[in-house]
């Protein structure tokens, strides 16, 4: 089990979730964040911190966003790790 960043993060890239992650499993893409399923310990600390409700436990991802499970796994290997809170994207959300 892992947590997944989904569509509401796209264009916003709030990083409140990064600040509370005890295992540094977040990765930063150009327009959104991703969670590395190999590093996520499923603690759930990130979920309530997301101001746009983009983070779900993988078993609870809404049907229309199920493709984000594989996208997070793929993009976590292609994007740099993010370890601290940064300003969100402007004009996105």
Residue 35, strand partner residues:
26
Does residue 8 fall inside a structural domain? yes
Does residue 16 fall inside a structural domain? yes
User: How far is 7 from 56, CA to CA, in rounded Å?
Assistant: 11
The pLDDT value recorded for residue 93 is 74
**What b/e sequence results for 34-68 when a residue is b if at least 16 CB atoms lie within 10 Å of its CB, and e otherwise?**
bbbbeebeeeeebbebbebebbbebeebeeebeeb
Is the per-residue pLDDT at 29 higher than 80?
yes
Residue ranges of the alpha helices (H) in the chain?
A: 16-20, 67-76
Does residue 58 fall inside a structural domain? yes
Average pLDDT, the chain: 96
Does residue 10 fall inside a structural domain? yes
User: Domain of 52?
Assistant: 3-76
Number of domains in the chain: 1
Does residue 33 fall inside a structural domain? yes
Does residue 42 fall inside a structural domain? yes
Global pTM reads 0.95
CATH number of 48's domain = 3.30.70.20
């Amino acid at each position: 089990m892992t947590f997944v960043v989904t569509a509401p993060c796209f264009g916003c890239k709030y990083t409140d979730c990064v600040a509370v992650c005890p295992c540094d499993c977040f990765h930063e893409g150009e327009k959104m964040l991703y969670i590395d399923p190999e590093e996520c310990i499923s603690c759930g600390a990130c979920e309530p911190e997301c101001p746009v409700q983009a983070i779900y436990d993988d078993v609870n991802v809404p049907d229309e966003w199920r493709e984000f499970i594989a996208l997070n796994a793929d993009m976590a290997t292609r994007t740099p790790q993010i370890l601290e809170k940064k300003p969100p994207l402007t004009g996105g959300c």
